[in-house]
Amino acid sequence: MFQDRLIIFDTTLRDGEQSPGATLNADEKVEIARQLARLGVDVIEAGFAYASPGDFEAVERVARTVGTEDGPVVCSLARAIRSDIQAAAEAIRPAARGRIHTFISTSDIHLEHQLRKSRPEVLAIAAEMVAFAKSFVDDVEFSPMDAGRSDPEYLYRVLEAAIDAGATTVNIPDTVGYLTPAEFGGLIRGIAQNVRGIERAVISVHCHNDLGLAVANSLAAIENGARQIECTINGIGERAGNCSLEEIVMALHVRRQFFNPIFGRPADAATPLCAIDTRQIYKSSRLVSHLTGMLVQPNKAIVGANAFAHESGIHQDGVLKNRLTYEILDAETVGVNENRIVLGKHSGRNAFRTRLGELGYELGDADLNRAFLRFKELADKKKTVSDWDIEAVISDEIRLIPE
């Protein structure tokens, strides 16, 4: 299936929530899903409906709240097991456009030690469960788990069976973040060239960051035919996390002259390569960090506190003369308001509320009043109140606004 732009599949609410300690309740998931919709992601993987009643409720509520006709596709994960697929189908039903994402491992190490099944058995299950998912929805995604360590020839046959059974997206996970960009790019090229019927499906990739290569591997995959990227806000996820949404989107944006021809466009084409509203990136990052309790490291690309800070005299001098000397992107492009008003003890409620909005918090009146009083107490003790101070105030005072 030829796609002339990239599909952004956000799995913050599913794989991202699998970060140790990052559990989100249904209210929090709905709040993040609303922001993901504003950000412009194409697909929201809202959870794993069969995993728990809480997860089912969250997927169902996300489907109901943001799964409108012009909103994102809402997806639930499901093992290649009937009960999982049934739960997923039920949870996504309120969405105008729902997707079931079913998976089974294909690497020998998983087949032997985890599934205890033979290659032919797994191939048959994959085909049967994709067909079962297809009996509920048209939009079915199939993932051969641990594809990065699977025998490519076997992988090709499993993907062919999944496509013949109706999979419209085939997602290639580097589940343990093991491959290098050249290897992963080669794997995707092999799939694009050797899987019979691949033109009927979108090739997707799902890269983990165990060696810090998730974004690089995803970019290599795009160069070799992938047209859907699975990623999370702030790169959160199992172990070292997933491909970071903000990094991959901004790499495509800043280097569009390099990527445009890969999508069959002139190098200088101005139309964005994906539907993300980059000005919503910083806000999304702050919201996810706050609700999951996972702090963003200061030197994190794109959304870290230091991402646009210049410390050395030489750099400061250069930037003052011409920003392009040491900056490859404008902070405002990702929604960081550089000319923001400095908050201190003379700041009013309105300035405080505006800054909160920029950081991704929309508080009801009661929460805003409490947070504002705490802010004033703090401002009495400090000359200026930083974003980090505001985050601390919010952590102490905020209660989520119910849907």
Closest contact distance (angstroms) between CB of 11 and Zn ion is 7
Q: Which residue has the tokens 């200026």?
A: 384
Q: Give the nearest distance from C-beta 355 to ligand KIV in angstroms.
A: 36
Binding to Zn ion, residues 13-72 (CB under 5 A): 15
Total number of residues shown for the chain: 403
Between CA 217 and CA 268 the distance in angstroms is 24
DSSP string, 133-166: HHTT-S-EEEEEETGGGS-HHHHHHHHHHHHHTT
Q: Closest distance between Zn ion and the C-beta of residue 170, in Å?
A: 15
Residues that bind ligand KIV (CB under 6 A): 15, 77, 103, 143, 145, 171, 173, 175, 206, 208
Is 108 within any annotated ligand binding site?
no
Q: Bridge-partner residues for 229, per DSSP?
A: 8, 205
Only segment of 7-15, 63-71, 287-295, 296-304 that touches Zn ion (CB under 5 A): 7-15
Query: How far, in Å, CA of 342 to CA of 75, rounded?
Result: 41
Of all residues in the shown chain, the one whose CB is closest to Zn ion is 15
- Give 15 or 141: the residue with its C-beta nearer to Zn ion: 15
Instruction: State the nearest-atom distance from the C-beta of 201 to ligand KIV, in Å.
Output: 15
Which residue number, 48 or 259, has a Cβ lying nearer to ligand KIV?
Answer: 48
> Looking at residue 174, what DSSP letter applies?
E
206 among annotated binding-site residues: yes
- Cα gap 80→112, rounded to integer Å: 17
Q: Which two tokens stand for residue 140?
A: 């079915």
Tokens of 169: 């997206």
Q: Which does 355 bind (CB under 5 to 8 A by kind): ligand KIV, Zn ion, none?
A: none
242 is in an annotated binding site: yes
Residue position matching structure tokens 């050395």: 312
Q: Is 113 a known ligand-binding residue?
A: no
Eight-state DSSP code of residue 114: I
Straight-line distance from the first to the last Cα atom of the chain, in angstroms, rounded to the nearest whole number = 37
CB closer to Zn ion, 60 vs 238 = 238
Q: Which is nearer to ligand KIV, 202 or 390 (CB)?
A: 202
Query: Which residue, 15 or 60, is less far from Zn ion as judged by CB?
Result: 15
Q: How far is the CB of 251 from ligand KIV (least distance, A)?
A: 21
Phi, psi of 71 (to 5 degrees): -90, -175
* Burial class of residue 308 in the structure, from the number of CB atoms within 10 Å of its CB (0-12 exposed, 13-18 middle, 19+ buried): middle
Query: Which uninterrupted H or E stretch holds 191?
Result: helix 181-194
CB of 260 vs ligand KIV, minimal distance in Å: 29
Residue closer to ligand KIV (CB basis): 30 or 172: 172
Name the site residues for Zn ion (rule: CB under 5 A): 15
Q: Which residues does the annotation place in the binding site?
A: 15, 206, 208, 242
Q: Binding site for Mn(2+): what residues are annotated? A: 15, 206, 208, 242
